[in-house]
Amino acid sequence: MDEYPRVVQKQKRDWWKRGRAFDLWSIPHFLFGVFTAMVPGLTGVSLFSAFILTIALALLWELYEKIIGIRERTLNSVADVVLPILAFTGTSFALRAFPLHPQTLLVVAIAVFLIYLFTNISGWLAYRRRNHDFIH
């Protein structure tokens, strides 16, 4: 009946588009917790102080997103705060169970930080592509 093939246009997928609880933005939130858990082993900061700093910065970041007009679901905002806390806790336990030589820890921390930067920058660029009037 229909002799012509149906043309379906494939829609581009923006992997950085915010999801329900977890999305690609979960990666930098998680990496932030991993990185801050390494700070005590690299500096004189106590584990407790690093933990409190992780919580405070995660909360402040979510507040900043609200202030500049980034809208996301409540569950996603909660996940964005919980993920660094879980990552910090897991990394802290792992580093206590399997201590790394300070130089090795520094290399791992730099690698984690660079991946954190890359994911944040690519995410913000994707966000700007979607929202042309965002912070010019």
The 10s digit of each residue's pLDDT in 55-96 is: 999 999 999 989 988 888 889 899 999 999 999 999 999 999
Give residue 52's pLDDT.
99
Q: In total, how many domains does the chain have? A: 1
46: left (phi over 0), alpha (psi -120 to 50) or beta: beta
- Higher-confidence position of 89 and 125: 89
* pTM of the complete model: 0.80
Residue 13 pLDDT greater than 80, yes or no: no
Cα(70)–Cα(124) distance, integer angstroms: 11
Q: Is residue 21 in some structural domain?
A: no
Residue 2 pLDDT greater than 60, yes or no: no
Q: Which of 12-26, 38-52, 67-81 has the lowest mean pLDDT?
A: 12-26
Angle between helices 102-130 and 26-42 (to 10 degrees): 150
Mean pLDDT of the chain, nearest integer: 87
Q: Is residue 1 in some structural domain?
A: no
Cα(128)–Cα(136) distance, integer angstroms: 9
CA 106 to chain CA mean position, Å: 20
Eight-state DSSP code of residue 136: -
Helices (H), ranges, the chain: 26-42, 47-67, 74-97, 102-130
Range of the domain at 41: 26-130
Q: Is residue 6 in some structural domain?
A: no
